């Protein structure tokens, strides 16, 4: 997995986002990218928005529901990160 800061177009505007690119070991041509949009702290109020699938070329063994499930289990397993996520979550975007 590769994670980097970027921008996506969603809801008629551009949003800052952390982009997560994934490829399964057994199927290197298959890929997916999830964007986690956010409103930066410099705006006056840090917010995290709903993750979005922004790219996908999947094979039959690539389970996007499992990928999203793993993402949220990861968020929940990080005690401090889960508190920040819960406090900053804004699902309007």
Q: What is the pLDDT of residues 52-86, one digit of tens each?
A: 888 766 556 667 787 788 888 989 999 998 999 99
The pair phi, psi for residue 26, each rounded to 5°, is -75, -15
Q: Partners of 33 in the beta sheet?
A: 21, 55
Between these two residues, 92 and 41, which has the higher pLDDT value?
A: 41
| pLDDT reported for residue 11 | 77
C-beta of residue 64 within 8 angstroms of C-beta of residue 32 = yes
5-64: pLDDT as tens digits: 999 988 788 999 999 988 777 777 777 888 999 999 999 999 999 998 887 665 566 677
Q: What is the DSSP letter of 89?
A: B
Length of the chain in terms of residues written: 93
């Amino acid at each position: 997995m590769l994670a980097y800061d970027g921008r996506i177009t969603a809801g008629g505007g551009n949003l800052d986002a952390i982009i997560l690119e994934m490829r399964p070991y057994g199927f290197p041509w298959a890929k997916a990218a999830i964007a986690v949009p956010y409103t930066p702290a410099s705006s006056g109020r840090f917010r995290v928005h709903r993750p979005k699938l922004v790219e996908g070329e999947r094979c039959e063994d690539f389970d996007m529901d499992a990928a999203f499930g793993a993402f949220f289990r990861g968020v929940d397993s990080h005690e401090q990160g889960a508190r920040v996520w819960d406090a900053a979550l804004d699902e309007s975007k």
